[in-house]
Structure 1
Amino acid sequence: MGDETRALKRLERSIRRRLDARAALDRVVRSLPAIVQIVVGATAAYLLARGLLGHELPLVAVTVTIVALGLARDATPRRVVEIVIGINIGIAVSALLVQVIGQGAWQIAVILAVTLVVARAVSPSAPFAIAAGVQSMLVAVLPAPDGGVFARSLDGLVGGAMALLITALIPRFDLVRQRGEATSLFSLLEQSLSGLHESLRAGDAPAAELALARIRRSQALIDEWSRSLESARGVAAVSPWLRSQRARLAEEVRLLAVADLTTRHVRAIARRVDVIVRDGRPRPVLAELVESAAEVVRLLGRSRDDEAARYAARAVAAVLAGRCTPTAVEGVGDQVVIVLLRPLVFDVLVHLGTPADEARALLPPL
């Protein structure tokens, strides 16, 4: 028994090491675009500040580039500009105060406090204030360069300009991962609706609970997709290499909007189904309607890359809209499910190109 326990523990440690190694490799691979940006940008900022400005040790130019680009996935031009402004505010405030009160221990405290107060007044962003504070300390602690403390402000501008240039010329956002987030969301929606269909078909309360638990995990996917898409659009707006992607990204924004609405509708439907199936009674009519909704969502998720799926989704949604009449079922609880299906179908139809008036006319009167 002891040998078996030790063997299991060894196996567990081995699996854990493999998982850790895989996670580490995944982190490195995902960070490669950011690493390339930072290496190229920092090197170029160093060469530019040293060659053009004649600064022997352009430390600030290099650090500004590294901090502004960072390893975060959302290195958009807006975020880079925000960090660069914060950094240069820190440099300017610190340089002014060094001229007035000099350098030393108590001066560091005063300079850092003033810099953070000014940064918080200028921007509500915490990274903005921290970037300003870090750079102000470089100015306050290091000996003044040959050109004086204000020479570092020039280095800061060089680093900021280089960070912006690198953001545009070496795009970072990961189209593969972004598409993975959208696929995961639509897969989750389809699974949730399929679970609700099974619950209604068999009067299975645990299946409804599972579907409800699944759909409650959807918000994190929506938030991640939204952040990814915002980052992608920000970079595509300034990058000459990504001009052709702008129309596709605009369509992705519209898809995200309808996916968000669809998710909200599915959550409401799942909560209602979770209540009504507790009596254990099968509901075949509602089950068929929810099954059709699952098919609409599945086709909607494929519609980004498949025009045929787009037309099929619109056709299935149109048929489903015509069946969404509360009189098809008995009981207020069952009728509420159909009422909740109606806006889901309407929003999908409008997204797929059906005029709002026509989509509304497809729904039977209440």
Structure 2
Amino acid sequence: MSLAAHDSHRVQRARALARDRIRTGYARSRSGTIAIARVAASAALAYGISHYAWGHQFPFFSAIAAYVVVGFTVEKKMRKMFEMSAGVLIGVLLGELARITIGSGVWQVAVVIFTAAMIARFIDSGVMFAMQCGIQSMLVMVMPASPMMSPGTRFVDAVTGVAVGIGVYLLLSGDPRKPQRRAADRFFTELEDALGALALAARSGDREVARAALKDLRHSSQRLTDQWALANDAADEVATYSPRGLRHADSVGRLERLLVGSDRAMRNARVLARNLIHFLGASPGVTYPSLADALIAGQEAVAALHAAAMDDDVDFTAARRLLRRFCGYLTPETLLVTADGTAPGRSAHFQGVTLVIQLRSLAIDLLQATGLEYDEAQRFLPSLLVAGDGDVIGPRPVTREMQALEPPATTEALEMLIVDRTDPDRRG
């Protein structure tokens, strides 16, 4: 590559990085507009109350306290908010006491910050609590006091800011389900895309497609789960403490419970992708259309769960119907059939049975995400018990009436699920 071409490549790469940063920054700013506006309004309101109602000339601690307490991140929690509130108040109080007793100066700043940090660590282990104690006490020490300030003026300002911040956070937090739905939307989109990619891998026999899906799941699945969990925590607190959020408490609870089964399903999808890679590797060049159809049915069921999470009523009826159809595929006899109608070889059959079991586990997780108990979810699955009648060996769909009569699986019957039944040695 020539020097000019190399420089051109570097310029193009720099432009692409700059575009990505601008696009990401714009999206981040746009998504936080309401929260940032709420912070600004809180600081201005607290400052106005102290200035006009209490008559304080420069009540900057009101604005600072309100800004610190409200914040603009989704993981805001009541415990954290009260920690920061207490840190602000204790820091301002210590600073005021220090100015009265030892005055302000270089060594006084060191003494008050050391004392504030030691007291904060004694009271609580929270890092934010200790930081607010130290920062606020230092600000009181270094900022000059106006002639109109009395010794307790800044403490009153801090109390005003904290009260306004807590009030604004609880009253103007909006619909607590919105952050949950945003997190659930990203989560289910990733899971749908993964199942679609795995279906394509089964239909084409291409291991690289499955490997790419596994890479994406490993990269983003845990992050998306953590984001949803944080959104659940924030929504639960708003629904518990905010007068406007109380009416959404039931929906918030359903979305919280939805994450439990959905998280397990996402973990199962990672294992499923890894097993599919091994399965396709054991039968190179072979395609499995029935397996692809099953994965598409699972993707459609996840899409129905996705739609239910976005709906106000969070109704899982449609999702359960699609999950019943998904479960209808989940036997080795249905899934482990190649495009030409033959069974895979012995090695691929063993890997395939592992894949079937993983798909059944995924179905159970998704059914439990809709609110079913484990025993109820199991009734959706066709039986894996086998019956031998001459040369006919296969699964039997289980009904409620049959459950009481279902014979126990013999060792030989279960073994036949694992060992390739086309093996002539097994017929002897």
- TM bucket normalised to smaller: 0.7 to 0.9
Instruction: Note if contact 2:272-2:359 (Cα within 8 Å) is conserved in structure 1.
Output: yes
Equivalent residue, structure 2, for 1:96: 97
- Structure 1 counterpart of 2:295, from 269, 279, 290: 290
Partner amino acid for 2:245?
L
User: Quick check: 2:214–2:273 contact (8 Å CA) kept in 1?
Assistant: yes
* Secondary structure at the counterpart of residue 318 of structure 1: helix
1:51-70 mapped onto 2 (5 Å cutoff): 51-70=52-71
Structure with more relative contact order (C-alpha pairs < 8 Å, separation 6 or more): 1
Q: How does 1:197-346 map to 2 (within 5 A)?
A: 197-216=199-218, 217-279=220-282, 280=284, 281-305=286-310, 310-326=316-332, 329=336, 331-346=349-364
* Aligned partner (choices 139, 159, 162) of residue 160 of structure 1: 162
Measure, in 2, the Cα distance between the counterparts of 1:278 and 1:59: 67
Amino acid at match of 1:82: E
Sequence identity, in percent?
28
Considering only aligned residues, what root-mean-square deviation do their CA atoms show, in Å? 3.3
Shift in CA distance, 309/58, structure 1 to aligned 2, threshold 3 Å: closer
Q: Give the alignment of 1:116-127 within 5 angstroms.
A: 116-127=117-128
- What is the number of equivalent residue pairs in this alignment? 366
Which residue of structure 1 aligns with residue 408 of structure 2? none
| Secondary structure of the structure 1 residue equivalent to 2:104 | coil
Kindly provide the CA deviation profile for residues 53-95 of structure 1, in whole angstroms up to 9, marking residues without a partner as x: 4433222122111222234343444432221111112122333
Distance 2:333 2:10 in 1: 60
**Deviating more after overlay: 191-200 vs 287-296:** 287-296
How far apart are the structure 2 equivalents of 1:162 and 1:236? Answer: 19
- The higher radius of gyration belongs to 2
Letter in 1 for 2:306: G
Distance in 2 separating the partners of 1:9 and 1:270: 36
Alignment of structure 1 residues 8-157 onto 2, 5 Å: 22-144=23-145, 148-157=150-159
The amino acid across from 1:230 in the alignment is D
Deviations, residues 300-325 of structure 1 (Å, cap 9, x unaligned): 21223468983332123224335434
Q: Secondary structure at the match of 2:97?
A: helix
Q: Which moved more, 1:259-268 or 1:301-310?
A: 301-310
Whether the 8 Å contact between 1:76 and 1:235 is mirrored in structure 2 is no
* Structure 2, unaligned runs of 5 or more: 337-345, 386-428
1:33 shift after superposition:
1.8
The separation in 1 between residues aligned to 2:332 and 2:4, in whole angstroms, is 64
Inter-partner Cα distance in structure 1 for 2:314 and 2:44: 49
Question: Which structure features the higher share of helix residues?
Answer: 1
- Does the 8 A contact of 1:119 with 1:128 survive in 2? yes
| Structure 1 residues 10 and 174: CA distance shift in structure 2, 3 A | farther
Question: Corresponding residue for 2:173?
Answer: 171
Q: Aligned in 2, Cα 1:257/1:200: closer, same or farther, shift over 3 Å?
A: same
2:369 to 339, 351, 355: 351
